[in-house]
Structure 1
Amino acid sequence: MPRAKLTVRLPDSPWIRDISTAYPDATFRVSSVLPGSEIAIGVVELAAANPVPILAAIDDRSDIRDLELLWKHDDTALMQIETSNPSLLVPMQRAGVPVETPFVVEDGRVTWELTTSADRLSTLGEAFDERGIEYRIEHVRAVDARRAERVLTERQREVFLTAIDAGYYDVPREATLTDVASVLGVSKSTCSDVLHRAESAIAHRFADANLERGPESR
């Protein structure tokens, strides 16, 4: 099963395309979205030097049915928006590809990370082509579910869970490394080495799944 990262140039009609190109330094982070055939509802975080005129421009749009400001603080605002133009999500719906959130829109472009079948990914590309939507595939990587589950070896998992149960990771710490090693019946140095490898594996898996890293950081 492939996992793909795409950068898509949005079509002209959606509000988020026009507003984000009018304010290219603003960032729109869509944290959740409820697509429909005639409307779409989303929760969007706006980050800009001055969000006020941008909020006003969004509210003035004819395709915005409702804008509810949830909170605003300095250069950030969170809003729930209902739009009568869900065309941004139509290709995803046609291809049967779930919309993963959060995703970011900047200067008329959206970056999506998608996990789906190869056939559905191909159908999505066809849907973009039919509508004349420009897109670039940043990468496609195979996802092996069995490998994804094997973050830790059995030994690393045993030691790591023992450390958790003993309170080694509690704040404040309820057990020392010596305590964990004693429960396992191993030396302190062995326990430390196995725990360090387990923590490294978990940290790298978290970073790969959640953080945007350039080639220089790998």
Structure 2
Amino acid sequence: MPHATLTIRIPESLWIHEISTAYPDTAFRVISVLVGPDVSVAVIELATPNPVPIIASIDERDDVGDLELLWKHDDTALLQIETADQSVLTPMQRAGVPVETPFVVEDGVVTWELTTSADRLSTLGDLLEESDIGYRLESVHDIDGRTDHLLTDRQREVFLTALDEGYYDVPRAASLTDVAARLEISKSTCSDILHRAEGKIAHWFADERLGRRSNGR
């Protein structure tokens, strides 16, 4: 069973996108969330010395039906918010992927930690794309530990650096030369290590996700 880290760009139409981008230095920590058939209710912690303008901005939103200040102490405020627009959560509902809390929304972006089946994770990706919700799969690994030794430490370092630099983005944000320069190794060495790492990952994916019978490599 995979454990995945998923970063999602919240649609601009949602209140949390507008408010969190208007206050980019404030972390909106979602403590709990209840998703109903028509509305969602969330308890959100704000880390800010002055929550008044933020609360006022939230209260002005048409897609926020109810807003309560539950608690305020020092630089922390706790709010309960009811909203009718739950489009960012709908793909998770349809895929049958539980929402793990707490999670943090900052500057229009939310990062979710997900533990679910490979099939449901794949379905979630498809549904996010269908909903035109931008996302990035930051990491995924089996919680049973079978992939712990899939790559050597060096292969893992080079592969993750290439991933972070945008080598696998479409279009590519970094070239092989850029990745090699970041690691201070030659382009040929970088290419060789990446090729070996990609081969191991491809064989693992084919065996674990596509049901191919392993040939022992």
TM-score normalised by the shorter chain: which range applies?
A: 0.5 to 0.7
Which residue pairs with 2:69 in the alignment?
A: 69
**Unaligned runs of at least 5 residues, structure 2:** 147-217
Which residue pairs with 1:38 in the alignment?
A: 38
Tell me if the contact between 1:37 and 1:86 (Cα under 8 Å) persists in the aligned partners: no
Cα RMSD of the aligned pairs, angstroms, is: 1.4
What is the percent sequence identity of the aligned residues?
Answer: 68
Which residue pairs with 1:23 in the alignment?
A: 23
Q: Which amino acid aligns with 2:26?
A: A
Which residue pairs with 2:192 in the alignment?
A: none
Deviation at 1:59, TM superposition (A): 1.0
Deviation at 1:50, TM superposition (A): 2.2
Deviation at 1:13, TM superposition (A): 1.9
In the aligned structure 2, how far is the partner of 1:14 from the partner of 1:36? 17
In the aligned structure 1, how far is the partner of 2:95 from the partner of 2:57? 32
Which residue pairs with 1:47 in the alignment?
A: 47
Tell me if the contact between 1:92 and 1:98 (Cα under 8 Å) persists in the aligned partners: yes
Deviation at 1:46, TM superposition (A): 0.8
Instruction: Report whether the alignment pairs 1:108 with 2:117.
Output: no
SS of structure 2 residue aligned to 1:87? coil
Deviations 1:59-89 (A, max 9, x none): 1111111111111123211011111111121
In the aligned structure 1, how far is the partner of 2:37 from the partner of 2:125? 20
Deviation at 1:14, TM superposition (A): 1.6
In the aligned structure 2, how far is the partner of 1:84 from the partner of 1:126? 23
Alignment of 1:1-218 (within 5 A): 1-144=1-144
**Unaligned runs of at least 5 residues, structure 1:** 148-218
Q: Which amino acid aligns with 2:143?
A: V
Deviation at 1:49, TM superposition (A): 4.0
Runs of 4 or more consecutive aligned structure 1 residues displaced over 6 Å after TM superposition = none
SS of structure 2 residue aligned to 1:88? coil
Please report the TM-score for the alignment, with normalisation by the length of structure 2: 0.65
Tell me if the contact between 1:58 and 1:64 (Cα under 8 Å) persists in the aligned partners: yes
Deviation at 1:47, TM superposition (A): 1.2
In the aligned structure 2, how far is the partner of 1:19 from the partner of 1:88? 15
SS of structure 2 residue aligned to 1:100? coil
In the aligned structure 2, how far is the partner of 1:76 from the partner of 1:60? 21
Q: Which amino acid aligns with 1:128?
A: L
Q: Which amino acid aligns with 1:140?
A: V
In the aligned structure 1, how far is the partner of 2:40 from the partner of 2:47? 21
Deviation at 1:37, TM superposition (A): 2.5
Q: Which amino acid aligns with 2:111?
A: T
In the aligned structure 1, how far is the partner of 2:85 from the partner of 2:99? 16
In the aligned structure 2, how far is the partner of 1:130 from the partner of 1:48? 36
Tell me if the contact between 1:128 and 1:135 (Cα under 8 Å) persists in the aligned partners: yes
Which residue pairs with 1:160 in the alignment?
A: none
Tell me if the contact between 1:36 and 1:86 (Cα under 8 Å) persists in the aligned partners: no
SS of structure 1 residue aligned to 2:89? helix
Q: Which amino acid aligns with 2:141?
A: R
Please report the TM-score for the alignment, with normalisation by the length of structure 1: 0.64
In the aligned structure 1, how far is the partner of 2:13 from the partner of 2:76? 25
In the aligned structure 2, how far is the partner of 1:98 from the partner of 1:19? 25
In the aligned structure 2, how far is the partner of 1:88 from the partner of 1:44? 16
